[in-house]
Amino acid sequence: MERRDFVKNTALAAIGATIIGPLGALAEPRITHFDSSDLSPSALKDDFPLHFMALGDWGRNGEYDQSQVATQMGLWGASHPNNFVISVGDNFYPKGVVSEEDPLWHYSFENIYTAHSLQCDWYPVLGNHDWHTDVDAQVRYSKISRRWDMPARYYSKEISLHSDDKEIKTNDKPKSKDKVLFVMMDTDPFLHEDKADYVEKEVTWLKETLANASADVKWKIVIGHHPCYTVGPRITNYDTITMRKTLPQIFADHKVDIYLSGHEHSLQHLKPDNFCHQFISGAGSELTKVTAGIPYSKFEASEHGFMYFSVDANRLNVKAINYSGTVLYETELTK
């Protein structure tokens, strides 16, 4: 470097230091803290403390529009609050899974429901197709997966209705003790005479679980794969009639509010006389037809999609959403 260039560069550096130095002295050191919620897109809030999606009859390696439904579930969950997903059975076609290491776990579940918003708890029940091989493999998978939560073939959960919002946590109001009881049934054995002992034990458990619900339970929701009523192809079929012989009286005796099922590959809301509200959300992949004009049907659609539930102590809102994100139907039950 020539001497004149060295002198010029040194002079410029000195001038810069005289300008930056005083400005830097004015700036106080800052430490910025971010919560993950500040960095992640937040879902649109509403005034319901509990939300969940319900999906059924889905496990087909992404085919029959399973992947498209999964994509829409992820988009919906990214823009709406969601606490968990309920699967109403027939989780793996055609014959369930053979073990907790079956490749179908990846082809039909892990690699399909990939959205960040769907990395929540999934509470499944078993369907008839799940019973073709090792049904307990789906129970055992709960110890492998971070989101598949199936502690037994049939089980129950009481889930709190208090909000986890920071604003509610920091005020002086006590948290609500209100809860929702979810009773997760294994319904396929009801259809087989050789499983009569199994069914008797499960029915006893069902009655006791409903009877022993805590005083804080505001809604009782029973989930099983087979419906008691339908306007799909199985209106008068053996499966439906068999379930109807056992469950309606138990539900009436214990004031069950909702029976949520699949088996019919469609979206339905039914309210027969002397029966609770029946919702069918079995449109996760392959579709079957529905029949319009049946008096106890409030809504029926043979379209791919899922249902979205929003719950508080006095209201239960249900939306049926298709794979393009259109809300096909909405209703609200009140107490």
Give burial (CB, 10 Å; 0-12/13-18/19+) of 266. buried
pTM (predicted TM-score): 0.85
The whole-number pLDDT of residue 39 equals 46
Give burial (CB, 10 Å; 0-12/13-18/19+) of 324. exposed
Cα torsion angle, 189, 217, 220, 305, sign: negative
Query: Which has the higher per-residue pLDDT, 168 or 159?
Result: 159
Tens of pLDDT along 116-136? 999 999 999 999 999 999 999
Mean predicted confidence (pLDDT) in 198-207: 98
Res. 29: pLDDT tops 70: no
In which band, very low, low, confident or very high, does the pLDDT at 44 lie, cut at 50, 70 and 90? confident
Tens of pLDDT along 45-62? 789 999 999 999 999 999
The whole-number pLDDT of residue 45 equals 75
Res. 297: pLDDT tops 80: yes
